[in-house]
Amino acid sequence: MFWKRAGTNSATEPSEISGAISANGHAEPSEAADPIATANGSSPSRIDAILTDVYDRVRPISDGALADYIPELAKVSPESFGIAIATTQGKVHKIGDADTEFTIQSTSKALTYCMALELCGRQEVLGRVGVEPSGDPFNAIEFSPLTRRPYNPMVNGGAIAVSGLLRDTLGADEAFERLLERFSQAAGRKLRLNEDVYRSESQTGHRNRAIAHLLLSAGALQEPVEPALDLYFRQCSIMVTATDLAFMAATIANLGVNPLTGEHVFDIDAVRDTQSVMFSCGMYDYSGGWTYEVGIPAKSGVGGGILGVVNRQIGIGTYSPRLDRTGNSTRGIESFKMLSNVLGLHAFDLTNTGSAFVNSFFAEPKADSP
Ligand code: DON
């Protein structure tokens, strides 16, 4: 089996990082120009020192509030806070409550979208849900007036349409089994459903039922509605940790292959499409601000988790359950902002240097040999 994520590195002693950060706020690149590559697990690496610094700076932030519109969600400790980074070489660096479990919630939407693309193909998925940012709250009861489809798969309307597609293709129970297995493969350990949260979601999910019926009327969901909703409620109620989110993100970053287990989890084309939508729509009505300030594809959930993908390099998972008005973790956002700044992770940052592949098209033609 593929559950073998044991014996990975954990964060080491707190240490000073003065000198590691340059005047522009970035960490100075190591010889290998890869700040993560210096980690060897034997002594506090530069990345562990950076993680410790970010953690210490962000921990005092107590803005925001626990989600309580689903009663079970309000039962977590508001103080929990953890950060994990997994590399595409399979190393993990973590700090704080990085192994505390919480429900995955909307972070699941990125993974189910990836599955639907793979199972049903791009055209069929695009027929049910678009790829445009909505600029509206995640639970808005609205569709694009142009297409009469939900704006994107990262808001509730789009995610329920995706659950409907998975249900139509696999049947509700089989779809959940496959989904749980796929999420587990991406995390590198066997995940489980939180029955109490699932019941709470289902009992209080009236707004999602309204959205599902709107989907039905627009032809973006097939009858019967309830099993598709049930699949959505169950996918949101899977327990994960920040470390799990980091490995899920690293699996996406590693072109769909879990870097620790070597398991091929997601199709490469689906991974590309999913990251694109995460980049423009993954943080609800803060998506534009996030892409501007943090600049990496990401997905959040009201359980307090955020998953961020730095393509071909690292996956980042954060957990802190106090949320801002958009439903995103306040400490999670601050942690990502600092990590992006210090490590130069923004897609358009100066560390994003040229590609040999692109350069090869611009090379001067070689003179014909005599
Ligand atoms: O649809 C719901 O209400 C939740 N179970 C999932 C929402 C979620 O995580 C959206 N978040 N930011």
Which stretch of 31-45, 75-89, 266-280 has the lowest confidence by average pLDDT?
31-45
Cβ atoms of residues 334 and 134 within 8 Å:
no
pLDDT at 246: 98
Residue 38 has pLDDT above 60, yes or no: no
Point out the ligand 1 atom lying closest to the alpha carbon of residue 326: 12
Residue 15 has pLDDT above 60, yes or no: no
* Highest mean predicted confidence (pLDDT) among 16-20, 42-46, 185-189: 185-189
Residue 58 half-sphere exposure, CB side, CA atoms within 13 Å? 28
In angstroms, rounded to a whole number, what is the distance separating the alpha carbons of residues 335 and 256?
A: 25
Using the mean position of ligand 1's atoms as its centre, give its distance from the Cα of residue 166 in Å.
18
**Coil, helix or strand at residue 206:** helix
Query: What is the CB neighbour count within 10 angstroms for residue 178?
Result: 16
pLDDT at 330: 98
Q: What is the mean pLDDT of residues 69-84?
A: 95
pLDDT at 42: 46
Q: What is the mean pLDDT of residues 10-21?
A: 35
Using a 6 Å cutoff on CB, does residue 198 contact ligand 1? no
The distance from CA 74 to its chain's CA centroid, rounded to whole angstroms, is: 22
Q: What is the mean pLDDT of residues 98-123?
A: 98
**Coil, helix or strand at residue 145:** coil
Residue 349 has pLDDT above 80, yes or no: yes
Reading the block at residue 125, the tokens are 């998925």
Which stretch of 5-9, 44-48, 126-130 has the lowest confidence by average pLDDT?
5-9
Mutate to test the pocket of ligand 1, among 238, 302, 333 (most ligand atoms within 8 A of CB): 302
Q: Whose CA is nearest to atom 8 of ligand 1?
A: 106
Reading the block at residue 170, the tokens are 């696999």
The distance from CA 231 to its chain's CA centroid, rounded to whole angstroms, is: 19
Is 113 labeled as catalytic in the residue annotation? no
Residues whose CB falls within 8 Å of the CB of residue 88, separated by 6 or more in sequence, listed in order: 250, 253, 254, 259, 312, 313, 314, 315
**Band of pLDDT at residue 34, cut at 50, 70 and 90:** very low
Cβ atoms of residues 220 and 128 within 8 Å:
yes
Using a 6 Å cutoff on CB, does residue 340 contact ligand 1? no
Reading the block at residue 48, the tokens are 């562990």
Point out the ligand 1 atom lying closest to the alpha carbon of residue 107: 9
**Band of pLDDT at residue 5, cut at 50, 70 and 90:** very low
DSSP-derived letter for residue 148 is: S
Q: Are strands 298-300 and 305-310 parallel, antiparallel or unpaired?
A: antiparallel
The CA distances from residue 240 to 103, 194, 213, 306, in Å, are 6, 10, 30, 11
pLDDT at 273: 98
pLDDT at 137: 86
Q: What is the mean pLDDT of residues 188-193?
A: 98
Using a 6 Å cutoff on CB, does residue 300 contact ligand 1? yes
In angstroms, rounded to a whole number, what is the distance separating the alpha carbons of residues 307 and 299?
A: 5
Mutate to test the pocket of ligand 1, among 76, 134, 138, 319 (most ligand atoms within 8 A of CB): 138
Cβ atoms of residues 177 and 194 within 8 Å:
no
Using the mean position of ligand 1's atoms as its centre, give its distance from the Cα of residue 194 in Å.
15
pLDDT at 292: 97
pLDDT at 358: 80
Using a 6 Å cutoff on CB, does residue 150 contact ligand 1? no
In angstroms, rounded to a whole number, what is the distance separating the alpha carbons of residues 51 and 57?
A: 10
- The residue ranking higher by pLDDT, 10 or 71, is 71
Using a 6 Å cutoff on CB, does residue 156 contact ligand 1? yes
In angstroms, rounded to a whole number, what is the distance separating the alpha carbons of residues 214 and 206?
A: 13
Using the mean position of ligand 1's atoms as its centre, give its distance from the Cα of residue 124 in Å.
24
pLDDT at 41: 44
pTM given for the model:
0.89
Using the mean position of ligand 1's atoms as its centre, give its distance from the Cα of residue 10 in Å.
30
Mutate to test the pocket of ligand 1, among 139, 232, 245 (most ligand atoms within 8 A of CB): 139
Cβ atoms of residues 30 and 37 within 8 Å:
yes
In angstroms, rounded to a whole number, what is the distance separating the alpha carbons of residues 352 and 191?
A: 35
Query: Percent of the chain at pLDDT above 70?
Result: 87
The distance from CA 235 to its chain's CA centroid, rounded to whole angstroms, is: 14
Strands (E), the chain: 82-87, 92-96, 102-103, 239-240, 298-300, 305-310, 314-319
Question: What is the tens place of the pLDDT at every residue in 217-260?
Answer: 999 999 999 999 999 999 999 999 999 999 999 999 999 999 99
Residue 216 half-sphere exposure, CB side, CA atoms within 13 Å? 14
pLDDT at 25: 55
